[in-house]
Amino acid sequence: MHKFTCLVKNEIIKLTKRKGTLVMAALFLAAIVGLTGLFKIVAESSAQSDTDWRQESFQQGEVAGNVDYYGTLYHDSIVYDENGSILSSDLELKELYEYWTYLAEHEVRYDDWLYTNGLYAEYCAAKFALENGTAGALAGEYSARTAKIESYMEKDGWRAYYQDRMAEIQSGYTGTDKEAQLWFYRYSLDRGIAPESGEMYTLLLSVKNAKTALAELDASAAAGEEISEEHRSELQDDITLGVWRLENGVTRDISAEVKNSSLFEVEEINFWSIFAACKTLIKLVGVMCIVIAGSIVASEFSQGTYKFLLMSPAKRWKILVAKFVTVLLFGIAMMAVLYLLSFACCLLFFGTADLALPLLSVQNGVVVPSSPLLSILGDYLLSSVEILAMALLAFAISALVKGNALAISASLLVYFSGTLLESILRSLGVDFGRYLLFANLDLPALYAGTELYAGQSFGFAVAVILCHLIVFGWTAWDAFTRREM
Amino acid sequence: MSETTAKNALFAVEHLTKSLGGREILHDVSFEAYGGEVFGLLGPNGAGKTTTIKIAVGMLMLDAGDIRIAGYDLRHEYESAMACLGGIVENPEFYKYMSGWDNLLQYARVRRRKINEERIREVVHLVGLENRIYDKVGKYSLGMRQRLGVAQAILGEPKVLILDEPTNGLDPAGIKELRDIFKKLAHESGCAVIVSSHLMSEMEMMCDRVGVIVNGQLRCVSTTAELLSAASADSADFILRVSDVRSAYAALDFLDETSRRITEEGTLEIIVPKEEADALVARVNRSVISAGIELYTVSPKENKKLEDVFIQMTGFEGGVQIA
């Protein structure tokens, strides 16, 4: 065992003394720091340029335009008599003009709850009707309504509005979303979640929508329609998760960000989205491992140093295994560097604020919070299987051919053309593609349930990979131990 | 067996047979090298010297036969056998991007017995590389690489040292230094040193015994002295200076091709059995003259060397080609 350790040590020294390896590793480190830094720069510049559109007051938005537009239309519609007094005008246009002018004057915002609930429109309409000669019982109704809406406009007026809505719904509303509406108003009042209160309110709305969707689904089921059980349980999980988050005050859901493993699909730049998206760089580790594995045996032949190497009092297979162990150690080291350095860079660039956020998932109707750090680490482990397979392939090619460059380029060629071939087969609908190694390498996605081919399971993928590993390993073994040098 | 152990056969080749690409390279080769001697492996190019050495260091697999190194069977006790072996095959190759010292460390690390820094220094001093040992091997000359190769080969104090053309690329002073190192290792430390070379004069100065391989078969094994005296005992060499070497060569067709050749100096050399020497020389004389060729001198060749024995034994085919 001691001697085997020495063999591995020798290989590591040979690897690390080579300039190529060092340059490659340095470029890799630079790529990690550079990419995370790039996202930091992009995040900062976009933070300056766009503020949340909902926070904008109408003044700056389309309102001013509407005021102008309806104002012009209205003034054009006025017909004057010869004394210069108004003969007639388009009242509909006038009403619109006054409505928009009201919004503009009061600097109403897009996310103003009175606006989103249509209360301003109602208010202005009632006022307009009163001003333009509505009389009798209708006038009384209108003035009562305007007084009511004015009371809603006061501070915390939303409570009164919510209570009135609840009373209304209870007294005769029969829509399928009755329960969802009632729950929404009751929950808001109980927890004091005011409209416009940001993320909590948005979360509450999404739970209400999920509840509504579920109620509609159940209603159609009761009417004898066929419904998707999967969709139903998804909705139920959404509701469970939403309520849990409301109860625990966890407004941020980072599960999509943590699951994302592509730098090209980052939607919002923050600690978790960038740390998780750095998983893209695992591909780089794979390419580096292919290069190392491709040269580690072949370079001994191209340099002629196999003569030196075989003078060791160690059987050939031990030398071969020591070499592969070295490739594995290199891969593990690079994965660790990627994980730790991207973590450190994200901490540095995006701060520690999000660090404590849990990763939430619903299992059997129960919310299970877990560590996003571990989830990302799990994806790293699943992805290393791909690297292992590609490294072993390159290693086998390396043991088969004598030229260093040939071994590396052949390995890379197989890697890229294999991936291409598999996707071509898939697009042509050739089912045989599922037995190709390259169709089964994306283990994190397969584990999460994505299928490239119908019925392709995680276990199937693992079995295909294992078969290939055995073939590659056996090829390398046979080529090296029986080779006449 | 008892005989060999008494003589301490550290390196034993038994009935070695090897084919490569359908061609038989070695056929039933057997010889032994004992502790305390320098054993020379002689043969023309392609005779199978390097193949024998490559099999001995595990680069080629043998088809039949056995090799024992310090008593260990190479096939079944590979690691123990290799632990007793040091050597160079063809040109020594090293990791060019590492220093000579680091290369030696690579070699030292995987040896069975611990090799400390002191031992490495000692060996480096022995081959005279102290000044350049921390330079990258990529900057070494062929001679320096050869020295480093020797340092590596003797680093683990092997019982058996196999050297394929060890003096390749060295200057005359370097050749003498190494020769002395090998002799000392054999005669004082009791190693078995096996040397192959195409430089016959080298072998003559270095080797205690030689084995001659021709066409994959071992022709003979004997001490250098025996070989020389045996060769001079039953045959005689004569040098003929003539006006037309080629015609004279053709005229002597009663001698078979192994006993006449055109030398590099443009003279004709003949080898004849000692007891018939006078009669044959007279006949040669007559034949040359009757063919209309001027014969200037016929002189006996003095100082028979291993080279001549070798050429005689291998039938001139390794010497100057005949047009």
pLDDT tens string A242-275: 999 988 888 888 888 888 888 888 888 889 999 9
Cα A86 to Cα B207: distance, rounded to the nearest angstrom = 133
Of B141, B30, B49, B133, residue with least CA distance to B92: B141
A→B contacts (Cβ < 8 Å), by residue, are: 3, 6-7, 9-10, 13-14, 17-19, 303-308, 310-316, 482, 484-485
Q: Which ipTM score applies to this complex?
A: 0.77
Q: Which residues of A touch B87 (CB under 8 A)?
A: 311
- In this prediction, residue A250 carries a pLDDT of 84
Contact predicate A348/B132, CB 8 Å:
no
B187 within some domain: yes
Same domain, B194 and B243: no
| CATH number reported for the structural domain that contains residue B247 in this entry | 3.30.70.100
Domain assignment present for residue A290? The answer is yes
| Average confidence (pLDDT) over A289-304 | 91
Mark whether B197 and B272 lie in a shared domain.
no
Res A293: pLDDT: 92
What is the predicted pLDDT for the residue at B68? 92
- Cβ separation of B82 and A6 shorter than 8 Å? no
Residues B139, B85 share a domain = yes
Which residues 6+ apart lie within 8 Å of B17 measured at CB? Answer: B24, B26, B27, B28, B29, B62, B63, B64, B65
- Whether residue A218 lies inside any domain: the answer is no
Q: Indicate the residue among B158, B182, B215 that finishes a domain.
A: B215
Which element (helix H / strand E) includes B240?
A: strand B235-242
Supply the CATH number for residue B159's domain: 3.40.50.300
State the number of CA atoms in the 13 A half-sphere of B293 facing the CB: 23
Of B58, B155, B53, B142, nearest to B103 by C-alpha is B155
**B93 closest CB neighbour out of A10, A14, A304:** A304
Q: Is residue A231 part of a domain?
A: no
What pLDDT, on the 0 to 100 scale, is given for residue A327? 95
pLDDT at B317: 46
Which residue would you say has higher pLDDT here, B64 or B306? B64
- Return all residues near A261 (Cβ < 8 A) that are at least 6 apart: A276, A277, A279, A280, A282, A379, A383, A444
A 10 A CB-CB count for B218 gives 22
Q: Tell me if residue A370 falls in helix, strand or coil.
A: strand
Tell me: the pLDDT tens digits for A218-233? 888 888 888 888 888 8
pLDDT at B281: 87
**B220 in a structural domain:** no
The DSSP string of B27-44 is EEEEEEEETTEEEEEE--
Rounded mean pLDDT, A198-205: 86
Which has more pLDDT, B274 or A120?
A120
- pLDDT value at residue B307: 66
Q: What is the 3-state secondary structure (H, E, C) of A225-252?
A: CCCCHHHHHHHHHHHHHHHHHHHHCCCC
If pLDDT is split at 50, 70 and 90, which confidence band does B302 have? Answer: low
Evaluate whether B37 touches B186 at the Cβ level (below 8 Å).
yes
Q: Which pLDDT score is estimated for A13?
A: 94
Q: Where does the pLDDT of residue B308 fall: very low under 50, low under 70, confident under 90, or very high at 90 and above?
A: low
How many contacts does A have with B, using Cβ atoms within 8 A?
Answer: 81
| A455 bridge partner residues | none
- If you measure CA to CA, which chain B residue comes closest to A2? B110
Output the six-digit token pair for B101.
Answer: 């010292």
Provide the shortest C-alpha distance from residue A473 to chain B (in Å): 21
Separation CA A321–CA A387 (nearest Å)? 17
- pLDDT score recorded for residue B92: 86
Considering the domain boundaries, does residue A66 fall inside one? Answer: no
Closest Cβ–Cβ partner in B60, B95, B112 for A485: B60
What pLDDT shows up at residue B233?
A: 61
Q: Are residues B184 and B237 located together in one domain of the fold? A: no
* Distance between first and last Cα of chain A: 26
- Is A360 part of any domain? yes
Q: Which of A126-140, A160-174, A318-332, A440-454 has the highest mean pLDDT?
A: A318-332
Query: pLDDT, tens digit, for every residue of A93-111?
Result: 888 888 888 888 887 877 7
Domain presence at residue B266:
yes
What are the E-state strand segments in A20-177?
Answer: 79-80, 86-88
Flag whether A125 is in a domain.
Answer: no
How far is it, in rounded angstroms, from Cα A351 to Cα A347? 5
Asked whether residue B221 is assigned to any structural domain, the reply reads no
Assign B135 to helix, strand or coil.
Answer: coil
Number of domains in chain A: 1
Please report which confidence band the pLDDT of residue B319 belongs to, taking 50, 70 and 90 as the band edges: very low
Cross-chain residue pair B102–A13, CB shorter than 8 Å: yes
Residue B11, in any domain of the structure: yes
Together in a domain, B270 and B194: no
The answer to whether the beta carbons of residues A394 and A328 sit under 8 Å apart is no
pLDDT attached to residue B1: 40
Residue B58 lies in a domain: yes
The rounded distance, in Å, linking the Cα atoms of B223 and B231 is 12
Q: Token digits for A243?
A: 């309520």
Mean pLDDT value of segment B56-66: 88
- Shared domain check, B210 and B183: yes
Do B284 and B145 belong to one domain? no
> What ranges in A401-457 are assigned the alpha helix state H?
404-427, 443-447
Range of A417's domain? 2-51+261-481
> Phi and psi for A290 in degrees, rounded to 5?
-60, -45
Residues B99 and B166 in one domain: yes
Q: Taking residues A10-19, what's their average pLDDT?
A: 92
Question: Exposed, middle or buried: residue A143 (CB in 10 Å: 0-12, 13-18, 19+)?
Answer: middle
* Whether residue B131 sits in one domain with residue B6: yes
Domain count, chain B: 2
Which pLDDT belongs to residue B318?
42
pLDDT of residue A373: 93
Confidence of residue B232 (pLDDT cuts 50, 70, 90): low
Q: Is the pLDDT of residue B230 over 70?
A: no
Tell me the residue type at B104.
L
Interface test with B, best of A6, A308, A319 (most B CBs within 10 A): A308
Query: Mean pLDDT of all residues in chain A?
Result: 87
Cβ atoms B193, B161 nearer than 8 A: yes
CA-nearest residue of chain B to A480?
A: B59
Residue A278 lies in a domain: yes
DSSP assignments along B13-80, one per residue: EEEEEEEETTEEEEEEEEEEEETTEEEEEE--TTSSHHHHHHHHTTSS--SEEEEEETTEETTTSHHH
- Better-predicted residue by pLDDT, A138 or A348: A348
Would A286 be classed as within a structural domain?
A: yes
Residue B225 lies inside a defined structural domain of this protein: no
Residue B161 host element (H or E): strand B160-164
pLDDT band (50, 70, 90) for residue B321: very low
The predicted pLDDT at position B143 comes to 86
Domain containing B274 equals: 230-314
- pLDDT score, position A35: 93
Task: Give the pLDDT band (50/70/90) at residue A58.
Answer: low
Whether residue B106 and residue A10 make contact (CB cut-off 8 A), yes or no, is yes
Give yes or no: residues B205 and B241 share one domain: no
